Amino acid sequence: MNVDVEFSAICNLKCARCPQRDIVGKIPLGVMEYGLFTDIINEISENGACAIKSCLRGEPFMQPRIFDMIEYAKDKGILDIILTTNATLLDEKMIDDILKSSIAGLAISVDTHHSSSFETKGKEYSEVENHINMLLSKKKLANKNNLWVRIQTNIESNGSRQELISLKETVKKQFPLADMFMVGRLLHFNPDLDPYPDTRENYKDVRCNGIFHRFFITWDGKILPCALDYQERMVLGHVGKDSLSSVWLSSTMMQLREKHLAHEMDEYGICRHCHFRFTPKEKDIFTEDGEEHSKSITGYLLQNNK
């Protein structure tokens, strides 16, 4: 079992296409208290969880005790600790802290809307790119092979496959020491719209597998079935009031899994338009070295593992 933890629900950027804009001021947002985090880790480590990942709505490095939390989780036997970040808070000290920490994976988003939002602060995005490359260089010099770094970005939702390939080549040149690259199509995050303009024409409906091996905990302890439930439409329980194991095995979760197996997900608002349930009808693509890869359920996805 994997658990996604919202270390921080707040973000330092205000990207035009981010679902965060639709919930600020409507849903309380903050950073997770250290005591709540240790309670979560204590329980999941006793029940065999092997990985935690930062997810949901915020920037994890807005959490002032992020490195204390990472080490606590590692000391409790959590094997993989993965963070997703916009990297705009990176500086030399944070880079050194990352390399000294037990983070196993770092997914760095370098989308255009991130750079646009960052530059509204009167700064140049090239500063962020330089810090990402500094991290990668120091990682290589330190022979830090137990940390992978993935660079991820998106084209517009109506973009072509050739645009995907072109953008992937661009980010490979920008960040040559990264371990992985991922280019996808930008989603509609509106829970009442399909993820892509051509969803019903060029994608087929498949089952989401996330509800069978993971769940999500917000900064204030709400337990959700999905990382895309930004608006907290389906709260299953609360840490401290409900045990995580009882929520995992609850009748609500079991029914949700049964509905997915029966392809009856439309009964749930958060599932009706979720991109995790769609995969391209065209099954395979070829990377630039001729290697065949399955397409990801997140859309037209190109991935390169060195």
What mean pLDDT value characterizes the chain?
82
List C-alpha distances in Å: 124 to 62, 76, 114, 121, 129. 20, 40, 12, 9, 9
Angle at 216 between CA 280 and CA 104, to 5 degrees: 80
**Per-residue pLDDT tens digits for 158-185:** 777 788 788 888 899 999 999 988 887 7
Residue range 45-62: average pLDDT? 88
Looking at residue 242, what DSSP letter applies? B
Report the share of the chain in percent with pLDDT over 90: 45
pLDDT in tens, 210-248: 888 888 999 999 999 988 888 888 899 999 999 999 999
Give the SS3 label for residue 107: strand
pLDDT in tens, 258-277: 988 888 877 777 787 777 77
Q: Which residue has the higher pLDDT, 150 or 274?
A: 150
129 in Cβ contact with 178 (< 8 Å)? no
| Model confidence pLDDT, tens digit, residues 67-97 | 999 999 999 999 899 999 999 999 999 999 9
Report the pLDDT value the prediction gives residue 287, as an integer from 0 to 100. Answer: 28
CA 95/CA 89 separation, integer angstroms: 10
pLDDT at position 19 is 72
- pLDDT above 70 (res 304): no
The reported pTM is 0.83
